[in-house]
Amino acid sequence: MGKRRIWQRVLCLLLVLMLAACAPAKEGQEVPGTTGGGYTAPPMQTSVFDAQAAQGDNGVQVDISHVSQGYVAASAVSDKRLKFQVVFGDIKYNYDLPSDGTPQCYVLQSGSGSYTFRVMQNTTEDKYAEIYSATAEVALENELVPFLRPSQMVNYTADSACVAKASELAAQASTESGVVANIYAYIQNNIDYDTHKAETVQAGYLPDPDETLGSGKGICYDYASLAAAMLRSQGIPTKLITGYVQPGDLYHAWNMIWLEETGWITVKIEAPAHSWERIDLTFAAGASAAYTGDGTGYTDRLTY
């Protein structure tokens, strides 16, 4: 065989290899970084109510000692229903506050700046009146810290079953995108959509990530809260978003994640570095379009 033909074959082989390397991942192909181990999660961030640092009256205690870490905490005792309001300029978030003194932590999703925290007591029907307020000038350690800790909507501790499962899945990954991919796949494959719950859930419902994990079923709010708890516990900033999807302006919940690296979450989703990327686990798990829309046309309303 002549040298010219040999070189032609070598060049053809090189071209084939280059094209294969540049081809996008296909269904069934392994997502890079999901196996092999090597990922080391940073220490888990916690949220606590510090009674000694708290201030208040009328049975109310508000702890603003951790606002630089992205959250505020409160506790109150009352014989009436209570609300906790986080105010940032024209933005107001209203939360339930237990009236039995159980402390709650609330995320500061609006970033650094001037906040007012108000405890509101029910007066008549759906009317509330302020019984205590506190203000704080917040300088966050960085813009991601509100989404790395537990809160009322994303409730977990170091002893939670969902944290143990997240740690197990993270230990099998070699990159942070691999951690997301493993947790994404686990929830997608193990949590079924609870149609009955979706049709009967009451206003004020709060998700319980461990209950969702244990029962193996939930609604969109449960999917998003479980994903946020698992990912935050492994040091990956995660937002829980509620809003609307098309068609039909369906009320829905999903997540946004932040990665320090570019990486594949699924063979269809590539998350760029240093930016928020949407993941909708309810849709990925195959819930009916009657509850998730068609996976397009998202409109953010509230962030937790």
What pLDDT score was predicted for residue 29?
56
Q: What is the reported pTM?
A: 0.89
Rounded alpha-carbon distances, angstroms, from residue 282 to 195, 238, 253, 255, 288: 12, 16, 8, 10, 9
CA 174/CA 167 separation, integer angstroms: 13
Radius of gyration of the chain, Cα coordinates, nearest whole angstrom: 23
Beta carbons within 10 angstroms of residue 67's beta carbon: 20
pLDDT in tens, the chain (304 residues): 444 443 444 333 333 323 233 333 334 456 878 888 889 999 999 999 999 999 999 899 999 999 999 999 999 999 999 999 999 999 999 999 999 999 999 999 999 999 999 999 999 999 999 999 999 999 999 999 999 999 999 999 999 999 999 999 999 999 999 999 999 999 999 999 999 999 999 989 999 999 999 999 999 999 999 999 999 999 999 999 999 999 889 999 999 999 999 988 987 889 999 999 999 999 999 999 999 998 889 999 999 9
List, by residue range, all CATH 3.10.620.30 domains of the chain. 161-303
DSSP string, the chain: --HHHHHHHHHHHHHHHHHHHHSPP-TTSPPTTSSS----PPPPP-----TTT-B-STTEEEE-TTGGGTEEEEEEB-SS-EEEEEEETTEEEEEEE-TBS--EEEE-TT-SEEEEEEEEEE-STT-EEEEEEEEEEE--SSTTGGGSS--SSS---TT-HHHHHHHHHHHT-SSHHHHHHHHHHHHHHH-EE-HHHHHHPPTT----HHHHHHHTEE-HHHHHHHHHHHHHHTT--EEEEEEEEETTTEEEEEEEEE-SS-EESSSS-EEPTTSEEEE-HHHHTT--HHHHTTSEEEEEEEE-
The CATH architecture that domain 60-147 belongs to is Sandwich (2.60)
What pLDDT score was predicted for residue 9?
42
Q: Which CATH class is domain 161-303?
A: alpha beta
Of 215, 141, 151, 224, which Cα lies nearest the Cα of 184?
A: 224
What pLDDT score was predicted for residue 31?
81
What pLDDT score was predicted for residue 21?
33
List, by residue range, all CATH 2.60.40.10 domains of the chain. 60-147
CA 122/CA 112 separation, integer angstroms: 30
What pLDDT score was predicted for residue 33?
81
